[in-house]
Homo-oligomer: A and B are copies of this chain.
Amino acid sequence: MQKVVVTGAAGFIGSNLVDDLLRRGLDVLGLDDFSSGHIKFIELAKKHPNFNIISCDLLDQKAVVEYLDGSDFVFHLAANADVRFGTEHPSKDLEQNTIVTFNILEGMRENAVQNIVFASTGAVYGESQIIPTPENAPMPIQTSLYGASKLACESMIEAYCEGFDFKSWIFRFVSILGQRYTHGHVYDFCKQLKEDPSCLHVLGNGLQKKSYLHVDDCIDAIWVGVTNANDKVNILNLGANDYCQVNDSIQWIIEKLGLSPKVTYGGGERGWVGDNPFIFLETNKIRSFGWKPQHTIREGVESTVDFLLENDWVFNFRK
């Protein structure tokens, strides 16, 4: 691995990965359309001589072919990562996830680039009956357009491994927290409390269980996985060993902020249609390579609040 391409390089996880790969001495070309990524997230990287960033639309297949020329590894993190609003714009998951991933795979094939790391999600398990959920869980029923599109991407990647002798590392993430976090419930809660510190409205009943992972642990795990897992197709769950309830995270957030808001609930065990009340992944496989999280879930939530307090501009660049 020498010259790598990172898609979604200016995004939450992507920009953290870029910093890590540069520290490891790699040449990194970042691609991002800056729809949910932000130039501030790659300020540090941009000072590095081995980093370049291109603002581009990955739906432009010809451009993708050009950008992948000369690289030997693609970390494909660009995606529509918005699980909740999938039903408001069904074409977005198809285009930004499924079709973009196809374009990446074709761009790789054109350039004889045969190694791909893919950021997938625990959402591909739908509402698994087996918890914690292992990588070889029974074939799930998809409950979100997001999960469906990510499984479509995984499937295409696997078929390219078989058909064109690619090698892949597919990481199925739980929700990730930490610096540069820009959407999800900690974001929503902090944003609400910034606007009105006296009340907080929670979607669902607050009992949804979440097994968050800190982004630093996520990035470590990606490196451990890529350098140790050696099959043609490597599928690896990433997550914490435990979980919290949404209500726990609310408590940690308001303690951290020194607030005592009135908390109201939308009710129901799901925050929205397709919300999974309990995602908790079995991570024995990645742990077998010596990886384990260095941060507790509470630390993850608190460091996210710290980041949001120090960077309140992130509340304004998204709708």
Contacts and interface: CB of A to CB of B under 8 A. Distances in A.
Indicate how many identical chains form the complex. Answer: 2
A102 interface: yes
Given A90-B105, A94-B102, A149-B152, 12 more contacts: A87-B164, A91-B106, A124-B139, A136-B139, A141-B235, A142-B158, A143-B158, A143-B159, A144-B163, A148-B156, A151-B152, A163-B273
Across the A-B interface, the 8 shortest Cβ-Cβ residue pairs:
A152-B152, A148-B155, A136-B138, A142-B158, A148-B159, A87-B163, A142-B155, A143-B162
Interface in A118-150: 124, 126, 135-145, 147-149
A59 interface: no
A233 interface: yes
B141 A138 contact: no
Contacts of A204: none
A32 to B, nearest CB: 23
24 contacts: A87-B163, A90-B105, A91-B102, A94-B102, A135-B139, A137-B138, A139-B139, A142-B154, A142-B156, A142-B158, A142-B159, A143-B162, A145-B156, A145-B160, A147-B155, A148-B159, A149-B155, A149-B156, A151-B151, A151-B152, A152-B156, A162-B274, A163-B273, A163-B274
Contacts of A156: 94, 142, 145, 148-149, 152
A273 B162 contact: yes
Contacts of A138: 136-139
Contacts of A158: 126, 141-143, 148
A39 B238 CA distance: 52
Interface residues of A, number: 42
Per DSSP, chain A at the interface is helix
A224 interface: no
Contacts of A143: 158-159, 162
A199 to B, nearest CB: 29
A197 interface: no
A163 B148 CA distance: 12
B274 A152 contact: no
A55 to B, nearest CB: 25
Contacts of A142: 154-156, 158-159, 162
Contact of A152 (B140, B155, B233): B155
Contacts of A22: none
A147 to B, nearest CB: 7
B135 A147 contact: no
A151 B87 CA distance: 20
A179 interface: no
A94 B109 CA distance: 16
A98 interface: yes
A99 interface: yes
